[in-house]
Amino acid sequence: MAASLQLSFKPFKPSLQQAKSVSNTAPNFSRVRCSAVAPSRSYTVTLLPGDGIGPEVISVAKNTLQLVASLEGIEFKFKEMPVGGSALDLTGVPLPEETLSAAKDSDAVLLGAIGGYKWDNNEKHLKPETGLLQLRAGLKVFANLRPATVLPQLVDASTLKKEVADGVDLMVVRELTGGIYFGKPRGFSTNENGEEIGFNTEVYATHEIDRIARVAFETAKKRRGKLCSVDKANVLEASMLWRKRVTELASKYPDVELSHMYVDNAAMQLVRNPKQFDTIVTNNIFGDILSDEASMITGSIGMLPSASLGESGPGLFEPIHGSAPDIAGQDKANPLATVLSAAMLLKYGLGEEKAAQRIEAAVLDTLDRGYRTGDIYSAGLKLVGCKEMGEEVLKSIDSNVAAAL
């Protein structure tokens, strides 16, 4: 194997609840029948395909999970539920109560993506994005881990020069349930001139800063021991408090080297010299933006997975990309970000490290064999669609099994 994905840290509170419910969708991959292991662990996974390319990439990730489950003696009970625009169309709300309770009752949740042109002009409470925010808040998953690793196979897919991109391996720890996406007051009003205004509030309480900072220090400790806290403390009060609390907490982590950076500089440094970063901790909106930027260092936003974890309860696992309406329904989406999110689900959500490694190894093997979706394609390689990429990942899982026999 050419490289490891190095998503190497442990969940701080893995969810290992007993599986609770619903239909058994046992794996049915005849070509691995000889290697299949009788299930000894059972998990309920709520699948939320969502909108746009969401269902396409979730279908690939589900097949991948089923195949590794059959090899690892795992039984998955999948429950598919609506969220986002598809839930709006079906039920009138972007996060039906049934979806949230299924998610809460499961061992882990895997989401595709939400959103689309059709719902762009909906009122705020009827937007697909509101459903996603409600889901994250409902599951209390405040810590969003977004690894960005440049795989050797994809150095040429990066928009940065090879020497800048090669070897980049960073982790964005994004606060996910606070800040300006949730802060009040927010809304629309009129100012003293009778002019229409829209407003939002960036607000953080100390406990919200402390808990995400602790996750970030722990993450950095298990990586290369460097933590960069990104804020806008030269302007924003919420950032001033953020910087103060992170600095105070640093004394508890003497083996972690803490630095601070303003977000505008961080955006620049990410493309100037991304290798200077190990772990980045930042607020909800800056983490959202910087992780999309970091994705292009690695070749494509279609490559980056994420894990969102709370103090307890199921984790939420999703690619960092959106519903990509421009390519939806065309079999063009790169499913690897979701497949790697499924690997994070196994590792950080369920503690099934070996099964996760099978997926990570298969992704690298598929890339080694030259398969590329359009977003990471370079001349001379094999251009495939979403479904075929998924099939190739399954073949790689199979052949790794064969190699191990």
Ligand X SMILES: NC(=O)C1=CN([C@@H]2O[C@H](COP(=O)(O)OP(=O)(O)OC[C@H]3O[C@@H](n4cnc5c(N)ncnc54)[C@H](O)[C@@H]3O)[C@@H](O)[C@H]2O)C=CC1
Ligand Y SMILES: CC(C)CC(=O)C(=O)O
Q: How far is CA 17 from the centre of its chain?
A: 21
Q: Is 375 a catalytic residue?
A: no
Provide, rounded to whole angstroms, the least separation between the CB of residue 263 and ligand Y: 16
Write down the least CB distance from residue 49 to ligand X, Å: 11
Torsion sign (Cα): 7, 9, 13, 19? positive
Tokens of 399: 């052949």
The single residue among 133, 216, 363, 389 that binds ligand Y, judged by CB under 6 A, is 133
Letters for 275-314 (x = contact with ligand X by CB under 6 A, - = none) are: --------------------------xx------------
181 is catalytic: yes
Among 327, 339, 350, 389, binds ligand X (CB under 6 A): 327
Question: Taking a C-beta distance cutoff of 8 angstroms, is the pair 82, 99 a contact?
Answer: yes
The token pair at 130 is 């509101």
Q: Does residue 111 interact with ligand Y by CB under 6 A?
A: no
CA atoms of 219 and 216, how far apart (whole Å): 5
Cβ of 80: how many Cβ atoms within 10 Å? Answer: 17
Stretch that binds ligand X, among 60-68, 113-121, 185-193, 265-273 (CB under 6 A): 113-121
Q: Closest Cα to residue 304, out of 182, 178, 130, 169?
A: 169
CB of 304 to ligand Y, least distance (A): 10
- Shortest Cβ distance from residue 292 to Mg ion (Å)? 6
Whose Cβ is closer to ligand Y: residue 72's or residue 129's? 129
User: Which structure tokens are listed for 50?
Assistant: 């969502």
Query: CB 133: neighbour CB atoms within 10 A?
Result: 18
Segment interacting with ligand Y (CB under 6 A) among 66-74, 128-136, 214-222, 366-374:
128-136
* Selected binder of ligand X within 375, 390, 394, 396 (CB under 6 A): 375
Q: Determine which residue in the list 228, 337, 364, 394 makes contact with ligand X, applying CB under 6 A.
A: 337
Q: Which does 153 bind (CB under 5 to 8 A by kind): Mg ion, ligand Y, ligand X, none?
A: none
Residue 253 annotated in active site:
no
Q: Would you call 292 exposed, middle or buried from its count of C-beta atoms within 10 A (0-12, 13-18, 19+)?
A: middle
The yes-or-no answer on residue 288 being catalytic is: yes
Which CB sits closer to ligand Y, 288 or 360? 288
Strands (DSSP E) along 30-186, which ranges? 41-50, 74-80, 108-113, 143-149, 169-175
Can you tell me which of 320, 363, 367, 394 binds ligand Y, judged by CB under 6 A? 320
* x/- map, 34-53, ligand X, by CB under 6 A: -------------------x
Stretch that binds ligand Y, among 6-14, 78-86, 126-134, 337-345 (CB under 6 A): 126-134
Q: Which stretch binds ligand Y (CB under 6 A): 78-86, 92-100, 125-133, 217-225?
A: 125-133
- Partner from ligand Y, Mg ion, ligand X, none contacting 323, C-beta within 5 to 8 A by type: ligand X
Closer to ligand X by CB, 94 or 322: give it: 322
Query: Which one of residues 129, 169, 218, 278 is an interface residue with ligand X (CB under 6 A)?
Result: 129
Catalytic one of 210, 292, 331, 398: 292
Report the residue from 56, 129, 360, 392 that binds ligand Y according to the rule CB under 6 A: 129
Minimal CA–CA distance to 360: which of 393, 385, 315, 333?
A: 393
Cα gap 182→186, rounded to integer Å: 9
Q: Please report, in angstroms and rounded to a whole number, the separation of the first and last CA atoms in the chain.
A: 17
Q: Which of 288, 347, 365, 375 is catalytic?
A: 288
133 binds, among ligand Y, ligand X, Mg ion, none (CB under 5 to 8 A by kind): ligand Y
382 is catalytic: no
Distance CA 57, CA 81 (A): 15
Greatest Cα-to-Cα distance within the chain, rounded to the nearest angstrom = 76
Q: DSSP character for 294?
A: H
| Contact map string, positions 270 to 299, toward ligand Y, x by CB under 6 A | ------------------x-----------
Closest by CA to 283, choosing from 226, 207, 214, 231, is 231
> What angle do helix axes 128-139 and 97-104 make, rounded to 10 degrees?
30
**DSSP secondary structure string, 231-274?**
E-TTT-HHHHHHHHHHHHHGGG-TTSEEEEEEHHHHHHHHHH-G
Active site residues: 181, 232, 264, 288, 292
Binding positions for ligand X, rule: CB under 6 A: 53, 113-116, 129, 132, 301-302, 318, 321-327, 333-334, 337, 375
